[in-house]
């Protein structure tokens, strides 16, 4: 008996079933079907392939019937399936029926070869699915991701705006313009909406406008928004606008510049997006679509608003940074020397390059004995707190310089101060942003003595100076590098003393200028020809720098060494006995009369010299030397070989002595004691009128 569970022969399909199946497939299929003959002509098409397109494509070659973005590629694909019989699945193509207006659409195409019962090639079957909306959504997601990646990389408003237009053009927009409230670009607080008609907006970025002439505006141009336009309405109610554009658009008459731009671009769709933060208006983004792109619709609004939110936040952050930078730069400028001061026996010039760093500083400090201290330093970081720290360290150096300490001692005391400033930061509450910012600084301090023609230098983690001799040669400079300020390395600071010829050039710069041998070589070359004007030499160094090579800024201090003119200095070797004060008074009177100083100055100086020499004879040790220097002030110096320092005290009524230094302090503008390897010098300075 036959097995009842075994399958029997397949039943023959009923008459007409194939025809019914084919008819149902072409009329009810959820995909569009095309049947092509071996010549790739369309012989049958399902309704979903185009509601009324059948009559327009039947009998035409597939690539002739449809306007494809890449017709040759599509023709090769169909021919390959026809020749090989290997089907193609889900290939994405873009196009539409040639006679239909509008932009291309996106389709997923699957192609099979049709073979007869005897193996003959009958043609092709192409199943087409319209995925235009899916591709639009995917493209919008791609643009959104690209936008998010490009945002937040800069704290510059212009760079942020440029990143926006580069992220959305081409693709989401064919042309884009970003305009920012002019005051916002300078760090000012944005105005609260609605934006007044008198508030200027500055064009910060654009893309896709390469064919637009100068009359339609360039980056940096400003304008005020014409009333009764989508731009004015968007900054009035802070709502996005997308509008269709044509020759009869009524508001174009009120905005001739935009009308000219639209005609040049051929734009047919515009979206205006306000840039706002907490109700304040930062600017506008204008997005244009031109022929070949579909008009903006509601689905594009979400991406435009997302872009506006991110750009507005980044612009606001950049604005805040710019404001802080302006404040810090202002503080830095106020804390630095205001112009180059005339110093005895030395000429100086400087350049301060602005940048993100607000901690660069330089200084020239007049010291006793016609000496000059040259200082360049840098506090790492940016912002107001960096500028404040710079000002604190500069003030400390000025105070230490007044004590006539050696450069290595100045660096050691400055390091102690920096340590205390760092401890104060560390003691701030953890929530304070300054608590997390470490304090790092470097400095170089040099003292030039015109009488010995030497320059004594100490540096704390700073680049060594460059020296140019009067003949243009560049002698080697070996200055031991001490540890950076606030370094954990507690090694002592060392000094180096350079012997300099008159007319030598000294160049001190922050590390960004002298960071490597190549930079130093470039500066040496720029300083060649030391007989040139000093400011020209200083500027010449800056001219040789590559563009945008110092985003953090830098400071450069250049000095030309000299000597005190012989007719402005007098020096006497004195005997160590009781008659010396009287002799000193006579010598001083004769010299001051020769300098044509007034009687009041002569009498005061005689008394000062008498007291200083008397003190040296009584408490010092030989040899004794008296020196007068006439510059902007009159300096008196008495040198002896003793290291014992005199002290000012207030004598009692019954005391017969002890009033010498008190009298000196009343007659002199400044006075002090300076130590050296060979003893000390008591010095005074008096303000004097220019000699006749």
Considering the domain architecture, whether residues 557 and 581 belong to the same structural domain is answered as no
Residue 267 placed within a domain: yes
Lowest mean pLDDT among 95-99, 124-128, 141-145: 95-99
* Count: domains in the chain: 4
- Residue with the bigger pLDDT between 128 and 445: it is 445
- DSSP sequence for 561-624: E----GGGEEEEEE-SSTTHHHHHHHHHHHHHHHTT--HHHHHHHHHHHHHHHHHHHHH--S-E
pLDDT category, 615, cuts 50, 70, 90? Answer: confident
Question: Which CATH number characterizes residue 204's domain?
Answer: 3.30.450.40
**Residue 490 is assigned to a structural domain of this protein:** yes
Distance CA 48, CA 488 (A): 78
Residue that terminates a domain, selected from 130, 160, 191: 130
Question: What is the pLDDT of the chain when averaged over all its residues?
Answer: 79
Residue 397 in 3-state DSSP? Answer: helix
* Residue 76 within any structural domain of the chain: yes
Q: Is the pTM value of this prediction over 0.85?
A: no
pLDDT digits (tens, 9 = 90+) for 391-427: 888 889 989 988 888 999 999 999 888 888 888 877 7
Residue 25, Cα to own-chain centre: how many angstroms? 66
Mark whether 287 and 377 lie in a shared domain. Answer: no
5 within domain boundaries = no
Residue with the bigger pLDDT between 504 and 197: it is: 504
**Same-domain pairing of 448 and 595:** no
Is residue 292 a contact partner of residue 103, using CB atoms and an 8 Å limit? yes
**Can you tell me whether residue 501 is helix, strand or coil?**
coil
**Residue 534 and residue 392 share a domain:** yes
Q: Indicate if 418 and 377 belong to the same structural domain.
A: yes
In a domain, 269, yes or no: yes
Domain boundary among 497, 526, 561: 561
Domain boundary among 130, 161, 177: 130
Q: How far apart are CA 270 and CA 290, in angstroms?
A: 9
Q: For tokens 């030989």, what's the residue?
A: 622
Confidence (pLDDT) at 444: 92
Say whether both 367 and 390 belong to one domain.
yes
Distance CA 233, CA 255 (A): 13
Is pLDDT larger for residue 550 or for residue 453? 453
Asked if pLDDT for residue 18 goes beyond 60, the answer is: no
Q: Is residue 4 part of a domain?
A: no
Quote the percentage of the chain above a pLDDT of 70. 82
CA 433 – CA 436 distance, rounded (Å): 6
Q: What CATH number does the domain containing 679 carry?
A: 3.30.565.10
CATH of the domain at 354: 3.60.40.10
pLDDT grade for 50, boundaries at 50, 70 and 90: low
13: in domain: no
Q: Within this chain, do residues 404 and 497 fall inside the same structural domain, yes or no?
A: yes
Whether residue 240 has pLDDT greater than 90 = no
Output the domain CATH number for residue 80: 3.30.450.20
> Residue 10's CB: how many other CB atoms inside 10 A?
6
Query: Poorest-confidence range of 255-259, 327-331, 624-628?
Result: 327-331
Contact 390, 398 (CB under 8 A): no
Same domain, 88 and 219: no
Percentage of residues in the chain having pLDDT higher than 90: 8
Candidates 645, 633, 634; CA nearest to 673 is 645
Which residues contact residue 553 at a Cβ distance below 8 angstroms, ignoring those fewer than 6 apart? 352, 353, 354, 355, 356, 357, 358, 360, 512
pLDDT of residue 214: 43
CA dist., res. 187 & res. 222, Å (int): 17
Confidence at residue 654, expressed as pLDDT on a 0 to 100 scale: 38
Beta bridge partners of 600: none
Specify whether 631 is located in the same domain as 575: yes
Coil, helix or strand at residue 183:
helix
pLDDT at residue 655, as a whole number: 42
Q: Give the residue-averaged pLDDT of 122-142.
A: 75
Q: Which domain holds residue 83?
A: 23-130
Quick one: 533 and 388 in the same domain?
Answer: yes
Judgement on whether residues 111 and 170 belong to the same structural domain of the protein: no
User: Is residue 203 included in any domain, yes or no?
Assistant: yes
Q: Are residues 111 and 145 in the same domain?
A: no
- Which of 265-269, 301-305, 396-400, 656-660 has the highest average model confidence (pLDDT)? 396-400
Tens-digit pLDDT profile for residues 526-544: 887 767 788 888 888 888 7
> Quick check: 190 and 319 in contact, CB under 8 A?
yes
């Amino acid at each position: 008996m036959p097995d009842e569970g075994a399958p029997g022969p397949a039943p023959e399909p009923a008459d007409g079933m194939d025809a019914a199946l084919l008819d149902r497939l072409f009329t009810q299929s959820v995909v569009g079907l095309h049947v092509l003959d071996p010549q790739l002509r369309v012989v049958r098409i399902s309704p979903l392939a185009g509601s009324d397109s059948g009559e327009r494509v039947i009998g035409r070659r597939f690539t002739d019937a449809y306007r494809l973005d890449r017709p040759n590629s599509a023709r090769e694909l169909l021919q390959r399936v026809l020749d090989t019989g290997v089907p193609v699945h889900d290939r994405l193509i873009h196009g539409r029926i040639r006679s239909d207006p509008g932009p291309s659409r996106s389709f997923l195409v699957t192609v099979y070869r049709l073979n007869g019962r005897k193996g003959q090639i009958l043609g092709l079957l192409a199943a087409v699915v319209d995925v235009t909306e899916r591709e639009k959504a995917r493209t919008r997601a791609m643009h959104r991701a690209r936008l998010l990646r490009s945002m937040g990389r800069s704290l510059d408003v212009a760079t942020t705006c440029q990143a926006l237009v580069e992220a959305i053009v081409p693709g989401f927009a064919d042309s884009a313009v970003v305009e920012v409230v002019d005051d916002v670009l300078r760090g000012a607080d944005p105005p609260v909406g609605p934006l007044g008609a008198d508030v200027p907006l500055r064009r910060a970025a654009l893309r896709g406008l390469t064919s637009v002439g100068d009359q339609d505006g360039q980056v940096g141009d400003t304008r005020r928004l014409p009333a009764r336009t989508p731009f004015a309405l968007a900054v009035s109610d802070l709502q996005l606008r997308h509008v269709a554009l044509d020759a009869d658009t009524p508001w174009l008459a009120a905005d001739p510049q935009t009308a000219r731009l639209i005609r040049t671009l051929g734009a047919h769709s515009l979206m205006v997006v306000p840039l706002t933060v907490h109700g304040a208006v930062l600017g506008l983004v204008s997005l244009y679509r031109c022929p070949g792109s579909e008009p903006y619709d509601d689905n594009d609004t979400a991406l435009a608003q997302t872009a506006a939110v991110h750009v507005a936040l980044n612009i606001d952050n950049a604005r805040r940074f710019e404001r802080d930078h302006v404040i810090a730069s202002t503080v830095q400028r106020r804390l630095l020397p205001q112009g180059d001061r005339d110093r005895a026996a030395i000429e100086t010039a400087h350049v301060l390059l602005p940048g993100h760093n607000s901690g660069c500083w330089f200084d020239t400090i007049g010291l006793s004995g016609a000496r000059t201290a040259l200082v360049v330093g840098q506090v790492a970081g940016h912002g107001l707190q960096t500028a404040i720290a710079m000002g604190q360290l500069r003030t400390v150096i000025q105070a230490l310089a007044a004590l006539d300490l050696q450069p290595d001692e100045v660096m050691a005391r400055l390091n102690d101060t920096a340590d205390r400033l760092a401890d104060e930061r560390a003691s701030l509450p953890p929530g304070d942003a300054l608590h997390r910012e470490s304090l790092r600084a470097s400095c170089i301090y040099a003292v030039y003595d015109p009488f010995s023609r030497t320059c004594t230098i100490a540096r704390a983690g700073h680049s060594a100076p460059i020296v140019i001799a009067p003949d243009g040669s560049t002698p080697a400079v070996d200055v031991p590098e001490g540890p950076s300020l606030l370094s954990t390395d507690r090694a002592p600071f060392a000094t180096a003393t350079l012997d300099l010829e008159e007319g030598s050039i000294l160049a001190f710069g922050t590390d960004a200028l002298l960071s490597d041998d190549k930079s130093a070589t470039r500066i040496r070359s720029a300083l060649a020809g030391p007989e040139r004007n000093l400011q020209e030499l200083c500027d010449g160094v800056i001219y040789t720098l590559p563009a945008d090579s110092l985003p953090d800024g830098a400071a450069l201090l250049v000095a030309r060494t000299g000597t005190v003119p012989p007719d402005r200095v007098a020096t006497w070797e004195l005997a160590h006995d009781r008659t010396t004060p009287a002799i000193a008074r006579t010598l001083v009177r004769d010299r001051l009369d020769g300098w044509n100083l007034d009687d009041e100055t002569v009498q005061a100086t005689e008394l000062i010299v008498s007291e200083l020499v008397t003190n040296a004879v009584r408490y010092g040790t030989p040899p004794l030397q008296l020196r007068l220097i006439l510059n902007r002030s009159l300096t008196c110096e008495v040198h002896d070989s003793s290291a014992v320092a005199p002290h000012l005290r207030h004598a009692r009524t019954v005391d017969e002595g002890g009033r010498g230094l008190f009298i000196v302090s009343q007659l002199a503008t400044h006075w002090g004691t300076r130590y050296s390897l060979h003893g000390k010098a008591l010095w005074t300075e008096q303000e004097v009128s220019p000699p006749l």
